[in-house]
Every structure is written in C-alpha cells, then in structure tokens.
C-alpha cells in the first residue's frame, strides 16, 4: 500500500521584501516582527510597542512624567556668579511653546519621541503674524525626514538642505535652520541621518510579551489547556455516530450559552489527556514579569519602582535616586542644552534646573544645606557662598565672624 502526504500551505508569500535591509519587515503577515540585522529601525513596531504593551508604556511614561515637572530658570553669568534673569523672553516662550500645547504637553511630546523612536525633531517657527515671539513644535519623528542636496551616498559630503514632515494632515517642507535634531546613539546604522532607539533591543521581548498575552487569552477562552477526551474503559470505543450524537446533544442541551452549563454528559466513563501545558505550567505571569524587567532595564528604570522583586522602602528609595542620577538628570540636562541651542541663547546664558524639588534627591540636598550651613556658622564660607550652594541669590561676601565684629564695632560707635 502506498501512502502520500500532501500539505497545502495556501497562498505563497513573497519574501523578497521581507528580508530587504531597507524595507519594514512583514514576516508571514506579522507586522510586529523585526529583523535584528536590518540597518533601519521599524518605527511602527516601536510605536505599537508603546501604544499596545503596558510593560513598555509604564517605564516610558515614568520617565516623561517625571521630566515634565522639573522647574528651571534662565541664568546668566556675571563674572563667576550666576544671576537669574527676570522676565526672560526665553522662559516666556518655553512656558507657552505654541498655541496648541502647554509647557508640560510640549516637554512630554518631545521626550516621548526622543525615548521611543530615539530622535527628537523641534521646529522653531519664528514670529510671522503671531503675537508671540515665536512657537516651538515637536515634529512627529516617524514622519520627519532629512532632505539631502543629492543622491550622493557619501554622507560626509552630501549637504542637508532641509526637512520634510507629514504634519497636520499635509506634507510640509521646512528650512534646515528651522529644525533641530537630537538623536540617540547611531551604532549599527548605515548613514549619519539614521538613528536607533534603545528600545530596539527590546523588540524581541515585546514579541514575547505579545505571545504571552495571546496564550493567556487562549487559555481563558478555552477554559484550560487543550487535550483529548477518550473512554477510560479497557477496550471501550466511541463510534463516529455516537461521538457526533454526543456532541450535538452537548451543544443543544448542555452548552454554555443561554444559561446552559458547560458540562459534557457521556454514557461511558471518559478521561482527559492534556496535549498542552496549563497556565500554571507555562508560568505566564512570571515570564511576563521577567519581560517587563528587561524593558525597564533597557530604559534604565529599576523595576523596583513598580514593586517588582524584593522591594523594601529603602530599595525603592535607592532605585528612585539611581534613576535620577543615571537617567532623569542626564536626560533633562541634555534637553536644557538642546533647548539653549534651539533658542540661540548667548554663550554666557543657560537654563538651570532646580533638582532640589525632587523627593528622591531631597536627602542629598538636605545634607548639602546642613553642611554649608555649618560651614557658614563656623566662619569657613561667606554668606553669599552659602546661599549660592542652596540655589539662592544675595548675601554678603563677608564671613559670619566678620559680620559679627562689624556689628560690634557699629554698636560701639553708636554709643
């Protein structure tokens, strides 16, 4: 007897573009898959990661929410001293960046593009018919491209002539002097105009998270693992007509719809043999937690901040401090320097953040205040130096002891 096996895989799909280095991947219809060896990142895959996976959105939102509330001011250097500039036009513009967004919205939009897609584009629209001195817009990173003078692939010599963005429902061409770019590392890309988000290293983790959710949903929908129901009596079988009749009776009289109960009634003893692992065996929640930790670590956010792992008050406090020292403050300092460049501020002027308002940094600020206060009381530093160390202005250049002697002298003269 001859046996033949035939497999019909359906319509064949061309994989010519699937593995092309410059084409966003679609492997067998899975738009979330990403070839790690590709030269360009899949922006849509990263956007889907953020929009659809809470394990990605949570640490990203932690960063952008924390950075959007840091106070800062315009400071100018006069000699070796910092002086706060009152009624600064730069601060006024940043407080009201454009007619659609508040300062908080603008900062969040910038960091969302910067962190998820690895690059932030800011358009400084000079005053043309507007009451304000100008407006700042964060352009959508996924829809903004650099326009080069020619097709010359020697990017060292090719000139940037402008930018093109899909913004507000239309394609807009912008002058190169009106758009400012701030990028992540470009390791592994094949030109100077490409970038690679740090989240790219977690793309495969996002694929694992999606599979995890799919498995959990399937288990819930099917009420357990898949398997085979078979007679347990030795030599007992269920004929095809009997099996069909049982199935029809089950759906008619004992189904799960219209108040019926999900029981299968059989005239013969039946046993169940599982052909897949159940939820406990798959350890889906544990695996999801591990994937979440990977995403957090990719972004430099300690999972302890979300209550994962051996979390105590001190551990969470240390995690928050480490976040600000290693991620939060460096990100915001970079943003302030980038903003100074956008606004064209003078060399001796800059934007200075006040990190003393951050709860996680308050202990360090209190220690500095206590130490400098003692130094002033002991006559080691001047009052002006003490006030400067805690971010205040004013004070004299005399030490406390000198001021006391002056007071005594003045008092004796008065007498």
pLDDT in tens, 81-101: 889 999 999 999 999 999 999
- 234 and 333 both lie in a single domain: no
Residue 219 belongs to a domain: no
Q: Kindly tell me if the per-residue pLDDT of 140 is higher than 70.
A: yes
Query: What span, in angstroms and rounded, lies between the C-alpha atoms of 22 and 41?
Result: 9
Q: Are 225 and 276 in contact (CB under 8 A)?
A: yes
- 197 and 58 both lie in a single domain: yes
Which tokens go with 88?
């600064």
Q: Is 289 helix (H, G, I), strand (E, B) or coil?
A: helix
Which tokens go with 171?
């394609």
Query: Of 8, 16, 53, 47, which Cα lies nearest the Cα of 31?
Result: 47
Residue 146 belongs to a domain: yes
- 202 and 231 both lie in a single domain: no
Residue 48 belongs to a domain: yes
Q: What pLDDT, on the 0 to 100 scale, is given for residue 378? A: 62
Burial of 4 per CB tally in 10 Å (0-12, 13-18, 19+): exposed
Output b/e per residue, 282-292; b: 16+ Cβ within 10 A.
Answer: bebeeebeebb
Residue 294 belongs to a domain: no
Q: Which helix (H) or strand (E) holds 250?
A: helix 240-253
Q: Kindly tell me if the per-residue pLDDT of 143 is higher than 80.
A: yes
What are the backbone angles phi and psi of residue 204, rounded to the nearest 5°? -65, -30
Between 3-7, 142-146, 159-163, 200-204, the lowest mean confidence (pLDDT) is in 3-7
Model pLDDT for residues 297-345, shown as the tens digit of each residue: 999 999 888 887 677 777 888 889 899 999 999 999 999 999 999 999 9
Contacts of 267 (CB under 8 A, 6+ apart): none
Number of domains in the chain: 3
Query: What span, in angstroms and rounded, lies between the C-alpha atoms of 308 and 156?
Result: 47
- 56 and 173 both lie in a single domain: yes
Q: What pLDDT, on the 0 to 100 scale, is given for residue 179? A: 94
Question: Which is more confidently placed, 293 or 129?
Answer: 293
- 362-368 LR contacts (CB < 8 Å, sep 24+): 363/321, 364/321, 365/390
Q: Which of 147, 175, 206 is the last residue in one of the domains?
A: 206
Residue 218 belongs to a domain: no
- 191 and 231 both lie in a single domain: no
Query: What span, in angstroms and rounded, lies between the C-alpha atoms of 194 and 185?
Result: 10
- 177 and 240 both lie in a single domain: no
Residue 370 belongs to a domain: yes
How is the chain split among helix, strand and coil, in percent rounded to 5? 45, 15, 40
Tell me 357's DSSP state.
G
What average pLDDT does range 163-188 have in this prediction?
86
Contacts of 347 (CB under 8 A, 6+ apart): none
Model pLDDT for residues 376-404, shown as the tens digit of each residue: 666 656 766 666 655 565 556 666 666 54
Beta strands per DSSP E along 159-311:
160-167, 170-175, 179-183, 227-231, 270-274
- 238 and 122 both lie in a single domain: no
What is the residue range of 127's domain? Answer: 43-206
Query: What span, in angstroms and rounded, lies between the C-alpha atoms of 120 and 114?
Result: 5
Question: Which is more confidently placed, 71 or 402?
Answer: 71
Residue 401 belongs to a domain: yes
Half-sphere exposure of 357 (CA within 13 A, CB side): 9
- 103 and 179 both lie in a single domain: yes
Q: Which helix (H) or strand (E) holds 84?
A: strand 81-84
- 55 and 184 both lie in a single domain: yes
- 81 and 165 both lie in a single domain: yes
- 264 and 333 both lie in a single domain: no
- 256 and 319 both lie in a single domain: no
What pLDDT band is residue 413 in, cutting at 50, 70 and 90? very low
Q: Are 119 and 195 in contact (CB under 8 A)?
A: yes
What are the backbone angles phi and psi of residue 172, rounded to the nearest 5°? -120, 135
Query: What span, in angstroms and rounded, lies between the C-alpha atoms of 166 and 204?
Result: 29
Residue 167 belongs to a domain: yes
């Amino acid at each position: 007897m001859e046996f033949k096996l035939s497999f019909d895989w359906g319509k064949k799909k061309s994989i010519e573009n699937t593995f092309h280095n410059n084409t966003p991947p679609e492997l067998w219809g899975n738009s979330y898959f990403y070839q790690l060896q590709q030269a360009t990142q899949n922006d849509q895959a990263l956007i889907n990661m953020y929009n659809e996976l809470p394990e990605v959105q949570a640490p990203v939102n932690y960063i952008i929410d924390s950075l959007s509330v840091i106070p800062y001011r315009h400071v100018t250097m006069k000699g070796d001293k910092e002086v706060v500039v009152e009624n600064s036009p730069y601060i006024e513009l940043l407080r009201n960046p454009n007619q659609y967004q508040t300062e908080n919205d603008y900062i969040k939009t910038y960091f969302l593009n910067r962190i998820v897609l690895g690059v932030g584009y800011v358009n400084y629209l000079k005053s043309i018919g507007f009451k304000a001195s100008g407006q700042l817009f964060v352009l959508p990173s996924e829809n903004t491209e650099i326009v080069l003078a020619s097709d010359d692939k020697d990017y060292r010599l090719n000139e940037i002539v402008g930018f093109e963005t899909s913004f507000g429902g239309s394609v807009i061409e912008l002058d190169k002097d009106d758009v400012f770019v701030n990028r992540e590392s470009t390791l592994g890309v094949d030109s100077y105009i490409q970038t690679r988000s740090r989240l790219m290293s977690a793309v495969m983790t996002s694929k694992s998270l999606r599979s995890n959710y799919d498995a959990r949903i399937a288990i819930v929908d099917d009420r357990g693992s898949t398997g085979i129901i078979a007679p347990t009596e030795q030599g007992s079988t269920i004929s095809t007509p009997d099996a069909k009749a049982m199935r029809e009776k089950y759906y008619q009289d004992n189904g799960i719809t219209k108040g019926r109960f999900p029981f299968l009634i059989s005239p013969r003893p039946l046993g169940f043999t599982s052909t897949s692992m159940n939820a406990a065996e798959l350890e889906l929640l544990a695996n999801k937690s591990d994937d979440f930790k990977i995403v957090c670590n990719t972004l430099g956010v300690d999972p302890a901040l979300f209550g994962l792992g051996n979390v105590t008050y001190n551990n969470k406090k240390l995690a928050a401090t480490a976040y600000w020292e290693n991620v939060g403050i460096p990100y915001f300092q970079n943003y302030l320097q980038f903003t100074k460049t956008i606004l064209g501020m003078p060399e001796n002027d800059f934007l200075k953040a006040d990190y003393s308002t951050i709860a996680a940094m308050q202990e360090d600020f209190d220690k500095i205040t206590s130490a400098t206060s003692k130094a002033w009381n002991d006559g080691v530093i001047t009052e002006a130096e003490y006030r400067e160390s805690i971010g205040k202005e004013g004070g004299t250049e005399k030490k406390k002891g000198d001021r006391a002697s002056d007071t005594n002298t003045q008092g004796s003269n008065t007498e």
